[in-house]
Amino acid sequence: MTLKKVEVIMKAALGQGVVSSIVIQSDDLDEIDWEWIGGNQTHVQTNYFGKGNTTSYDRAIWHEVQTPQALYHNYTTDWQKDKTDFYIDGQVVRTLKKEEANGGRNYPQTPSDVRLGIWPGGDPKNNEYTIEWAGGAVDYEQAPFTMAVKSVRVSDASTATEYHWSDQTGSMESIEVINGTKRAFGLDGNNSVSPAQSAAQRWRALSDTAKIAIFCSVGGVLLVAMGIMAFCCIKQRRAGKKERVLADAEFEKGTAELLAFRAEMNRQRTLRMQDTKSGLGGNGYQKF
């Protein structure tokens, strides 16, 4: 497929002579690379090749990045017909223009795949230049060497399911894009999300179906939240009514007990008064 955007969040492998790579390559040997040297904890290299042309070695550029073997970073390649942008954590660190690549002849432009992994650039079987570039010979006693990949996002530059080469020039103009109803690997460049896009661009890139799904999801969440709030209010109201009924019953019980106490006190007072009167004479003096 013709790759539009490749976004990888990863940590490179640590180790002298060990090379971590993101390679975008076609059968025609068009190539775009990210490469980390295991002994270099401050930089990453970007590079490209066109039609396998290795007659010059002035295409590689080193970019500063904070401890790529210890921290996850977002490395994004955004290919376009006239230029390719390289991003680190959302910031453009390099722009390769088509005309800069041997007048466009060596500009990567043919359908490619993506390859991630590590390889021993410092293996003794490699040539001296490669070993030197990799930072020295690999100490295999330090194995294993680990490249950690958190996520990969790939989008297609077209909706093609296959391609047809009309000649052997290897130019993008010579490649016929054959569209189908089903996108290759289910990838869709219009729906790709990368740090190169704003939030508004990401929203506009979504399909109508995806937008409707988002609206429905948000609406569903709001309805659930409103239902929970209503349930809590009703429950609280019922609890309040129950507490009020209990309080009223307690008040009525207390009132009844008070009235009963007063009635008993009045009864006893009356009895005492009757007993006192029955023990007195007609003149009010007590009899002996």
Could you give the residue numbers annotated as active site?
Answer: 31, 35
Q: Which two tokens stand for residue 111?
A: 């359908």
Cβ atoms of residues 24 and 126 within 8 Å = no
Pick the closest to residue 107 from 59, 156, 166 (CA basis): 59
In SS3 terms, 256-282 reads as: HHHHHHHHHHHHHHHHHHHHHHHCECC
Cβ atoms of residues 152 and 114 within 8 Å = yes
Q: Which residues pair with 156 in a beta bridge?
A: 3
Neighbours of 126 (CB within 10 A): 18
State which amino acid sits at residue 225: A
Q: Which residues pair with 25 in a beta bridge?
A: 31, 113
State which amino acid sits at residue 160: A
**Measured between alpha carbons, how far is 177 from 182 in angstroms, rounded to an integer?**
14
